[in-house]
Amino acid sequence: MLTDLQKEILKLKDEKNAIILAHNYQPKEIQEIADFLGDSLELCIKATEITDKDLVVFCGVDFMAETAFILNPKKKIVIPDKEAECPMAHMLTPEQIKEAKKRHPDAAVVLYVNSLASAKAEADILCTSSNALKVVESLKEDKILFGPDNNLARFVANQTDKEIIPIPEGGHCYVHKMFHEGDIIFKKEEHPDAEIIVHPECNEEVQKLADYVLSTGGMINQVKNSKSKEFIIGTEIDLITRINREIPEKKSYPLLNDAICKTMKLHTLEKVKNSLETEEYRIFVDEEIAKKSLSAVKKMIEVSK
Ligand code: SF4
């Protein structure tokens, strides 16, 4: 049952010929009014398909909205709260990439989509947590500079013969770093029959205790398709909100209740309404940077098909 505010937003959305895209980590009330809900790769692909809308309200963090702009430079893309930044994306600067390239001139640069447009402009190709291995394997180079998430870099390195060099040292997502081995042992005691699924941004020792290491999109598919009835999921809590809404016949539990991405939660229904009314806050990316990043984004989408 939608609230009055949610109904007002949906009415406004139609009047403005707008579309609301939301990341899987958005709170339930935003998930309920989104036209499309997905992980970063799904949102990127969706952004390439928006042809008939005048306004895109992007409920996610800065790098995601920038990617939507890079793919649709003529569209009005707005973000409900302009402070919604991904701290991990801000850990890697274009200067750090240029320095790493000087040290390893024979390496290709693969960047996680969770990076800023200015960093993406220095990449050969992007990847997400769902296609990182496939992207790395698609390249002719045997040496890969990979950033900014060191855990995802290690996850890929463990599955390929290529040399993976993580950049920058210590790049991480503070939400996925919260999980420890003890959390899995504790939760498993509460739900002994549950499958354990964690994200590749988690620490290696946590990944080792899991049954599956998957992207958020992969987690949803695993819960849908598995014979198990219960799941312990190590990622941001609102992905579990989505899973329990969409697959109510199974039970999914967050590995930690306080695994919350604070900047993702800056968006609220009031702010979404404001975005639709005022078209604040527009996302822009410098033309030259957008052009250079577009090639890396398109290559990733091509490899993912
Ligand atoms: S969950 Fe981590 S990687 Fe995702 S937006 Fe939040 S800080 Fe960034």
Residue 109 lies in a domain: yes
Same domain, 116 and 132: yes
| DSSP annotation string for 118-164 | HHHTT-SEEE-TTTHHHHHHHSS-SEEEEES-HHHHHHHHTT-SSEE
- Both 278 and 241 in a single domain? no
Residue 292 lies inside a defined structural domain of this protein = no
User: 113: CA distance to ligand 1 center in Å?
Assistant: 11
Question: 123, 154, 173: which is the final residue of a domain?
Answer: 173
- Report if residue 302 sits inside a domain: no
Q: Which pLDDT does position 47 carry in this prediction?
A: 79
Domain that holds residue 120: 89-173
pLDDT values of the chain reduced to their tens digit, one per residue, 305 residues:
999 999 999 999 999 999 999 999 999 999 999 999 998 878 878 877 887 899 999 999 999 999 999 988 888 999 999 999 999 999 999 999 999 999 999 999 999 999 999 999 999 999 999 899 999 999 999 999 999 999 999 999 999 999 999 999 999 999 999 999 999 999 999 999 999 999 999 999 999 999 999 999 999 999 999 999 999 999 999 999 999 999 999 999 999 999 999 999 999 999 999 999 999 999 999 999 999 999 999 999 899 87
Same domain? 247 vs 235: yes
Atom number in ligand 1 closest to CA 262? 6
Query: Do 185 and 229 belong together in one domain?
Result: yes
Ligand 1 site residues (CB inside 6 A) read 61, 86-88, 114, 173-175, 236, 261, 264
pLDDT at 86: 98
In a domain, 108, yes or no: yes
Residues 143 and 97 placed together within one structural domain of the fold: yes
- Could you give the number of structural domains in the chain? 3
Same domain, 195 and 231: yes
| Residue 59 annotated in ligand binding | no
Measured by CA distance, the residue closest to atom 5 of ligand 1 is 86
Task: Assess if residue 288 is contained within a domain.
Answer: no
Look at residue 12 and tell me if it is in a domain: yes
Tell me: do 168 and 95 sit in the same domain. Answer: yes
Calculate the dihedral angle through the C-alpha atoms of 189, 190, 196, 202, rounding to the nearest 10 degrees: -80
pLDDT of residue 42: 87
Mutate to test the pocket of ligand 1, among 40, 113, 114, 239 (most ligand atoms within 8 A of CB): 114
> Is 127 annotated among the ligand-binding residues?
no
Q: Are residues 80 and 41 in the same domain?
A: yes
Which residue, judged by its Cα, is nearest atom 1 of ligand 1? 261
Domain annotation covers residue 298: no
Residue 14 CA, ligand 1 centroid: distance in Å: 30
What is residue 78's predicted lDDT score, i.e. its pLDDT?
A: 96
Q: Whose CA is nearest to atom 3 of ligand 1?
A: 173
Q: What's the chain's Rg over C-alpha atoms?
A: 19
Residues 57 and 98 in one domain: no
Q: Give the model's pLDDT for residue 40.
A: 82
Q: Is 180 annotated as belonging to a binding site? A: no
| Residue 23 annotated as part of some ligand binding site | yes
Residues 72 and 93 reside in one and the same domain: no
- CA-closest residue to ligand 1 atom 6: 261
Query: CATH number for the domain including 27?
Result: 3.40.50.10800
Same domain for 236 and 250:
yes
Report whether 3 belongs to an annotated binding site: no
Sheet containing strand 18-23, strands side by side: 36-38, 18-23, 55-59, 76-78
- 291 in a domain, yes or no? no
106 plus 149 within the same structural domain: yes
